[in-house]
Amino acid sequence: MQSYEILTFFICLAALFSFINHRFIKWPPTIGIMALSLASALLVLVGARVFPGSDKWFTGIVTSIDFHALMMNGMLGLLLFAGSVNIDARSLRKERLPIITLATVGVLISTSLLGCLLYVVFILFHINVELIYCLLFAALLSPTDPIAVLAILKKAGLSKSLELKIAGESLFNDGVAVVVFLTILEVATKGVDNLSFASVTVQFLRETGGGLLYGLLLGVAGYYTIRSVNKYEVEVLLSMALVMGGYLLAGRLHISGPLAMVAAGIVVGNMGKNAHVPGISKRYLNKYWELIDEMLNAILFMLVGFEMLVIKSNITVIAIGLVCIVLVVFVRWASVAVPVTFLRLRMTFERHAIVILTWGGLRGALSIALALSLPADMHRDLFVTITYVVVVFSVLVQGLSIGKLYSRLTYHARAAAKAAE
C-alpha cells in the first residue's frame, strides 16, 4: 500500500473507534480508542489461528509504519506544544518548584532505582542483561503520560493545583527523560571508559538548558510574528511552522526538541492572552491546537494498540512484564514521595498528592517509541515487549481507575473531617 492509502486507512479506523467509544463505551477518548485497537488486534490474532495467514495483510500494514520515527520526529513536538499552549504561566510559576523537582529529581530517582531493581529481576529470571542496559531501559520507562486521564481528573473535581502539577510534570519530564535516555544510550554505545563524567554532564546540561532557552526565544519570535498578522488563517499556519520547523532545527542543533516545544508553547499561549492579539485569533489558535491534540492522540493510541501484532513475546517475557508493572508503580511512588516529603518542609501539598501523582503517572507511547529506537543488540525485542505490557496496564487499569481513586480518597477525607467536628 502507498503511504497515502495507509494514512487514510488508519484515520478512518481512528474515526470509527472514536465514534464507537463516544456513542457506546463512553470512556476517555484515548483510552477507549486504545482498548478498541487492542481488541481488534486480538481478533486478528485469533483469526490467524483459525485461518492461517489471514493476519498477514493487517500485520504488514502495521509493520510498514516506523512507530519510533512517527512519534519522535512527527507527533511528539506537536503534542507537547498543543499540551503546553493552554498552560497558564502565572499558575505554573506558583507550582514551578514541585514541577521542576518532579521532572528532574524524580526522573533521576526513577531511572537509577528502577534500573537496579530490573538488574536483579533479570538475574532471577536467568537473563543476562548488563546494568547499563537496565538503566537505559529504566530511562525509557521513566517519562509519564497522564494526558489520557486529565479529563477523568477534571470530572472528579481535582484541585487546580494538583491538576497543574500532573500536567506540568508530564510535559517537562518527557523532555528530561528523553535527554537522560539519550545520554545513557551514548554511554552504552561508546563505553564508560571512553566518556568522562564531565563530558556527560555538559551534554546533559546543553540538551536541557539549550532546549529551554531555544524554546523561549522561539516562542517570543513566534508570538511577535503572529501578532503582526491580523488574519487567523495565516496565524494558524505560522504556529504550525513554528512547531514543525523549530522542532526539526532543535534536532540539528543537538538540543532537546521536546523541552523546546514545551517552552515555546507556554510562551506563545500566554503572550497570546495579550490585548494586542485579536479575540478571534486567540479562539482559532486555541481550537486548532485542541483539535490537533485530540486527533494525534486518537491516532497515536490506536497505533499503540495495534503494535500488539508485531511485538515478539513468550511466557517468560510476559511474566517479567507483570513483575515490572509492580516495580514501575513502586518506583513511581518512591520518585514522588521523596521529593514531595522534602518539599512539604517549605510548601503545602494536597492531602493525597503522593497517591494521586503516583497512580496518575501513566506510561504511554513515548516509552514504546524509545524502546523501538534501540539497536537489536541492546535487548530491543525484550525491552519492547516488557514496555508494551507496562504501557497497556498503565493506560487501561490506572487510566480508568484514577478518577474513582481520587473520588474515594476525597470522600473519606470529607467524612473524616465531619466526624472530627
Q: Say if residue 328's pLDDT is above 70.
A: yes
Q: Say if residue 275's pLDDT is above 60.
A: no
Q: Which three cell numbers stand for residue 404?
A: 474513582
Of 182-186, 277-281, 393-397, where does mean pLDDT reach its minimum? 277-281
Q: CB–CB of 269/86 below 8 Å?
A: yes
Q: What is the DSSP letter of 376?
A: G
Q: Which three cell numbers stand for residue 21?
A: 467509544
Task: Give residue for cell 487501561.
Answer: 396
The pLDDT assigned to 154 comes to 61
Q: For residue range 192-241, what is the model confidence (pLDDT) as tens digits?
A: 777 777 888 888 889 999 999 999 999 999 989 988 888 888 989 999 99
The pLDDT assigned to 156 comes to 59
Q: CB–CB of 347/97 below 8 Å?
A: yes
**Helix (H) or strand (E) run with residue 187 in it:** helix 160-190
The pLDDT assigned to 406 comes to 85
Mean pLDDT of 287-304: 92
The pLDDT assigned to 150 comes to 61
DSSP assignment of 37-60 equals: HHHHHHHHHHHHHHSTTTTHHHHH
Question: Which has more confidence, 392 or 276?
Answer: 392
**Gap between the Cα atoms of 350 and 329, Å rounded:** 20
Q: Which three cell numbers stand for residue 260?
A: 523546546
Mean pLDDT of 84-88: 86
76, amino acid identity = L
Q: CB–CB of 281/230 below 8 Å?
A: yes
Q: Say if residue 389's pLDDT is above 90.
A: yes
Instruction: Locate all alpha helices (DSSP H) within 191-231, ordered by sequence.
Output: 197-227
Residue 269: pLDDT band by 50, 70, 90 thresholds? confident
State percent of the chain over pLDDT 90: 59
Residues with Cβ within 8 Å of 379's Cβ and at least 6 positions away in sequence, in order, are 129, 133, 137
The pLDDT assigned to 226 comes to 86
Residue 279: pLDDT band by 50, 70, 90 thresholds? low
The pLDDT assigned to 325 comes to 97
Q: For residue range 90-130, what is the model confidence (pLDDT) as tens digits?
A: 888 888 899 999 999 999 999 999 999 999 999 999 999 99
pTM: 0.93
| Count of CA atoms in the C-beta half-sphere (13 A) of 99 | 22
Domains, in order of start, for the chain: 68-420 (1.20.1530.20)
**Gap between the Cα atoms of 76 and 247, Å rounded:** 9
Q: CB–CB of 77/257 below 8 Å?
A: yes
The pLDDT assigned to 194 comes to 72
State percent of the chain over pLDDT 70: 93
Closest listed residue to residue 241, CA positions, set 267, 264, 209 = 264
Q: Say if residue 32's pLDDT is above 60.
A: yes
Q: Say if residue 405's pLDDT is above 70.
A: yes
The pLDDT assigned to 251 comes to 92
Residues with Cβ within 8 Å of 181's Cβ and at least 6 positions away in sequence, in order, are 136, 139, 140, 370
